[in-house]
Amino acid sequence: MIRQDAVYWIKRAHREHWAIGMFNAHHLEATQAIAAAADRARAPVMLGTTMGGIRHVGLDYFVAMAEVARRRTDVPLILHLDHGADLETVRACIESGFDSVMIDASTSSYDGNVELVRRVVALARRHGVGVEAQIGETLAEEGGEVIERKTTVEEAVKFVADTGVDYLAVSIGNTPGKLGTGTEIDVPLVRALAAALPVPLVLHGGTSVPRATVASLIAAGVAKINIDAAVKGAFRAALVEAYGASDPVVDTRAPMARARDLAVAAVEERIDWFGARGKAG
């Protein structure tokens, strides 16, 4: 039986100094691409959705797509809610069979963040679901207000002790939702955080982080890396190519198939960056 336990895989990655990729699957072709790349690389991956993703396809559609993908692969596809905004959405995802949830109250007060995370942790524990939360603020990933405040070691230590989260997202100069690979990450801060914390760290906005920096972050203690823009960018490239032509195709299956192929390559490349190839056996 394939083990889909998020906490097991993230802790194993942390212990062995590699990282598991969380790739957001906002529609069918993205789901197919992520699953195909994981299968080819023999790597466990986290198949994610967001509040916007749920609004786009519906939670039931996402779960159904993921279930088919799981039947067609024999590597772990771990279902994850990325940037969950409220307890109701988290509850619905857990009840729908998710293996991992992120509750993001990082823009709330410290006490408000802790209170909501504690409620999610209590709920998730009863279902064997892993919990991620965030302390510190990063650039908004889905069009919200642009705010950035780096995480401090002191608040991170207190937050983990106060909430009992399984893995922690931190603000370290990362830029979620951005293409390119020019983001300057505060690697010394990551080292200090990892040395002080008993849980693995999570990097959001992994698309815009250079490969050499990714390696340094994994060595420092990052064990889960989120990728969203790289997958979206593959689809954008194929659609711009197809519909920027003077006589664009009518049959949308052709550009979407091309986009899916580009997304497979993008996901497989990041799996290699993270050192996850072959880890599923």
Active site residues: 82
Q: Report phi then psi at 241, rounded to 5.
A: -60, -45
Residue 171 exposed, middle or buried by CB count within 10 Å (0-12, 13-18, 19+): buried
Please, which residues have CB within 8 angstroms of residue 121's CB and are 6 or more apart in sequence?
A: 131, 163, 164, 165
Compute the distance between CA of residue 134 and CA of residue 144 in angstroms, rounded to an integer. 16
Are the C-beta atoms of 129 and 100 separated by less than 8 Å?
yes
Buried-state track 208-226, b at ≥16 Cβ within 10 A, e below 16: bbeeebbebbbebbbbbbb
